[in-house]
Amino acid sequence: MQKGGLFSGTGATVLPRWRVFFALWPDDDTRARITVLADRLYQCLDGGGRRLRPQRYHLTLQFLGEHPEPCQPLLDAACRAATRMRVPPFELVLDRAGSFRNRAAVCWLGCSAMPTGLQALREALRLALARESLRVHKDRRFVPHLTLVRDASQPWPETALEEPLCWQVRGFSLMRSDMERQFAYGEVGKWTLG
């Protein structure tokens, strides 16, 4: 939490409003296939909870923090970093379903092994952000996943999928979500891999 801003000198805490992150967004065909798979998983592994709408499906690459203001300098620097990157397209195989046990009780699709292309993209992004002097939030342990359900009452057991879903990753985006508008997503920039 940051202090200052409009209420400087009053000791008031300024709450964050914006979350900024880089993410992979599925194309329409991949999103449709994820939706079919999510429907099947929800029926088989039903743990209740709030299902995410398909247009919210994404895989977070790098979180850049929560901010009380629109943070244009951060967005500009992140866009410059992304523009300099050169990483080839790659295939992402979602072959597992499971849960995180935390406050949000998240159920997800994920990978049993970290794809080389995803590792390369994250490393290139980390280096490009460092060149822009952007502080990267340390991931305790990056677990590539695509959230399907939040606030589940029962966790999904980690399960290997009979038919893995193959996603041809051809680009990535810089996103900003507005916590005052139910985490509405806005795309700041989009880049093609290659």
The residues annotated as belonging to the active site are: 58, 145
Question: Which residues make beta-bridge pairs with 50?
Answer: 150
The sheet with strand 18-24 has its strands ordered as 59-67, 18-24, 171-178, 184-192
- CA 152 to CA 172: how far, in whole Å? 28
Reference 146, options 124, 167, 171, 176; nearest CA is 167
- Do 95 and 112 touch, CB atoms closer than 8 A? yes
| DSSP H helices in 45-181 | 72-84, 116-131
Annotate 45-68 with DSSP letters as a single string: S----EEPPGGG--EEEEEEEEES
Alpha carbons within 13 angstroms on the beta-carbon side of residue 26 total 24
**Pairing mode, strands 90-100 and 145-150:** unpaired
